[in-house]
Chain A
Amino acid sequence: MAYVAVKGGERAIDAAHAWLAAERRGDTAVPELETAQIREQLGRAVDRVMAEGSLYDPDLAALAIKQAQGDLIEAGFLLRALRTTLPRFGVSLPIETETMRLARRISAIFKDLPGGQVLGPTYDYTHRLLDFSLAANGTQATAPEAEARDEAAPRVPDILGREGLLEADGASAAEPFDLTRAPLTFPASRDARLQGLARGDEGFLLGLGYSTQRGYGNNHPFVGELRVGEVDVEIVPPELGFSVCIGTVELTECQMVNQFAGSKTQPAQFTRGYGLAFGHAERRAMAMALVDRALRAEELGEARTAPAQDAEFVLSTCDNVEATGFVEHLKLPHYVDFQSELETIRRLRGNTGKPATSLPEAAG
């Protein structure tokens, strides 16, 4: 069926967008929100938009949140659209999370691990009671400080790995797959899966991760380690030929340790799932790690029975920019499509020779 261009609606659309702008501003008696306020005071929203927009830039994410009136999926969409207008300068050297300057680092499997349990700025252990003192502006809060111990915080996989109890990271010299350059094909390699999950919808990943805990592809997870902090980003500009640091980013990493795999020839080992996210995003990193592990079912010789273990289902559905585009496009005019459906149903009903009121029989 051909698409037929129909004009009309420009005036209505202009007025609708002007109203949207006024609604975005809200009551003008209330001071306008500055993007710096969003960046500084709504950091978790900024982090989520950067992750799902797949673009690390806190200022742009804050602007997108303002423009989208706090609709975080719309904001992520705005970042994705912007990135298509920018040239790619290159790729970073792989980030070494071991060198992270830690704000938070905990392990749920070792109490006394080298480097310690560092809680950082966390909502864990809060009572989830609304704090009405925040409603009265002018909050002054300072972070307590203590003398820092000069003690390394090795990665938990390295601690377990020394005894051979945990599967190794594995290595590959191949150039990693890039979702932004090539369409995803199946079976998808782990690098492609990790990229897809890293920018997947947090709610979707959370639901899938939860589904594995509920028994749909369970893999008995433990948080081996969760770390949040700042890492350096290095690139090798072609004009220099050596690596230079171009800045820092905040990341959250989750090492999930899961139940064993082994065989007659291979001693039993804990298996692993991995999560890495822009900003301070523990729920996202943990959910990603659960789903990453679930998607390794085939590789680890497990039956693929659950949605979280189905790479095609997970990766084709987890991108909320694609998902919202396809769901929301249903709002756009489908007059002609529907007209053809109408004609079909009228023909079907006409063939039955029954009156138009007897719907249930006619539908058969």
Chain B
Amino acid sequence: MNTAAPSLTDEHPNRARAEWMGLLARARPAELAALLEKAQGLPGYVLLRGPETGLVMLRGRAGGGGAPFNLGEMTATRASVRDAEGRIGHATVAGRDEAHALVAARLDAALQDPARHGALKATILEPLAHSEEQRRAALARRAAATRVDFFALTTQR
């Protein structure tokens, strides 16, 4: 993997795909599975690779913003599929949940289909984005409750 590749800019043609791949990877597997049950069925598929579990070396930066260093590894699981319509889907998700990686790869393929994209966006991606937003907002609210408001004591003589 190439570490020099920049993050995607707004204009990048793959930005939308990178966004849904990230959303699927960060999803709670149980929630993703529940949403899928309600969605229209996904096309059949053949596995091209995996699902298989391996390691990703996490990198930090010296001082937080300087030269990269290897912090330690994390587990990750990846899968690639070709669906019945010939679309290739890929997924790499943190952790060791093979079902999660497989579903994410199948959805990645299906989401590239303009005929399916709209419905899947509404039934899967938007609810996932909503619950992620809620989790993050809850974290921010809990943090805000522990923010210190300093006040000066009145000098007493």
Contact = CB atoms under 8 A, between A and B. Distances in A.
A90 interface: yes
Contact of A230 (B139, B141, B142, B146): B139
B60 A97 contact: yes
Contact of A51 (B21, B67, B72, B92): B72
Contact of B70 (A51, A83, A102, A176): A176
Interface in A147-199: 147-149, 155, 157-158, 168-172, 174, 176-180, 190-192, 194-195, 198-199
Contact of B147 (A90, A116, A122): A116
A118 interface: yes
A230 B152 CA distance: 33
A56 interface: yes
Nearest to A122: B146
Contacts of A117: 147-148
A118 B95 contact: no
Contacts of A232: 22, 26
Interface residues of B, number: 61
Interface in A23-78: 50-51, 54-57, 59-60
Contacts of A149: 144, 147
Interface string B9-36: 0001010001001100110000000000
Interface residues of A, number: 90
Residue with the highest number of chain B CB atoms closer than 10 Å, among A102, A145, A180: A145
B76 A278 contact: no
A89 interface: yes
A147 B75 CA distance: 35
Contacts of A94: 3, 59-61, 68
B64 A157 contact: yes
A59 B59 contact: no
Contacts of B60: 94-95, 97, 194, 198, 276
B142 A145 contact: yes
A353 interface: no
B20 to A, nearest CB: 9
A248 interface: yes
B94 interface: yes
Given A238-B1, A249-B74, A274 B63 contact: yes
Interface string B69-112: 11111111010100000000010111110000000000000000
B137 A246 contact: no
Contact of A176 (B12, B67, B146): B67
B8 interface: yes
A119 B57 contact: no
A306 interface: no
B25 A246 contact: yes
Contact of A101 (B73, B93, B139): B139
B136 to A, nearest CB: 6
Contacts of A116: 147-148
Contact of B58 (A119, A169, A233, A240): A233
A86 interface: yes
Contacts of B61: 94-97, 169
20 contacts: A55-B75, A56-B75, A57-B95, A60-B75, A91-B1, A91-B70, A94-B3, A94-B59, A103-B139, A121-B146, A144-B142, A169-B65, A171-B66, A198-B60, A236-B3, A236-B5, A241-B5, A246-B93, A248-B94, A276-B71
Given A97-B60, A111-B150, A235-B76, 12 more contacts: A55-B75, A57-B96, A89-B54, A90-B57, A93-B5, A103-B143, A157-B64, A169-B63, A174-B67, A176-B59, A195-B72, A243-B18
Interface of A: 50-51, 54-57, 59-60, 83, 86-98, 101-105, 111-112, 116-122, 143-149, 155, 157-158, 168-172, 174, 176-180, 190-192, 194-195, 198-199, 229-230, 232-249, 253, 255, 272, 274, 276, 278
